[in-house]
Amino acid sequence: MKVLTITGYKPREINIFKENDPKIAIIKAALQKKLIGFIEEGLEWILISGQMGVELWAAEVALDLKEEYDIQIAIIPPFENQDERWPEDLKFKYEELKMVADFYQPLYKGEYKGPYQFRAKNKWLVEKSDGCLLLLDEEYPGSNKFFYEEAKRASKDYPIYLITPFDLDEMGEELRMSDPDYWNS
């Protein structure tokens, strides 16, 4: 697999309201663990649409991994200025990521026109990648369900890798166990 699409929840869908929420560190650690495995097996490109939450966290993880691995990041939003109504801190993060990404190109010129842009984005990401990694709770898929359904309909062999709530619980425990203070109390 050379090209991987990564997506998942927006922060509010998983009750994250601040950028310093400890759950973000667990999500990033889970993403990093999966990405290192994929990179060591030949992954070259990570595709995201740049939506807030899991996708921006994945881009941050990938940027950190670029120091050690040869990995490229492409941000393909469905339209220009998708961050127009975002909180200021997230707008700033998104602008920074757009500048350091290896490739940035909105699918549609101009502003939001309709839901067809999101459907086209999901279809494009599936067609242009060899597989996907989703943070997903199948019982509560949230806005992920649209991409997930598109990925399941792929007309090619399209592996769907999931990071589940169970995986996040395990990662949280792994991080706690690796903290020296955990053993000293």
CATH of the domain at 77: 3.40.50.450
- Residue 88 sits at the vertex; the CA angle it makes with 84 and 91, to the nearest 5 degrees, is 55
Please report which confidence band the pLDDT of residue 183 belongs to, taking 50, 70 and 90 as the band edges: low
In the predicted model, what is the mean pLDDT of residues 71-80? 98
Residue-level length of the chain:
185
The tokens describing 160, both together, are 């769907």
- Report the candidate in 120, 104, 14, 110 with the shortest Cα–Cα distance to residue 59: 104
Q: What confidence tens digit (pLDDT) does each residue in 83-142 have?
A: 999 999 999 999 999 999 999 999 999 999 999 999 999 999 999 999 999 999 999 999
Q: What is the mean pLDDT of the chain?
A: 95
Report percent pLDDT > 90 for the chain.
93
Look at residue 158 and tell me whether its pLDDT is greater than 80: yes
Residue numbers of the domain that contains 134: 3-183
Helices (H), the chain: 22-40, 54-65, 88-100, 116-128, 144-152, 165-178, 180-183
Q: Which stretch of DSSP H or E encloses residue 48?
A: strand 45-48
pLDDT of residue 185: 59
The tokens describing 72, both together, are 């490229």
Look at residue 53 and tell me whether its pLDDT is greater than 90: yes
Predicted model pTM: 0.94
pLDDT of residue 79: 97
Tally of domains within the chain: 1
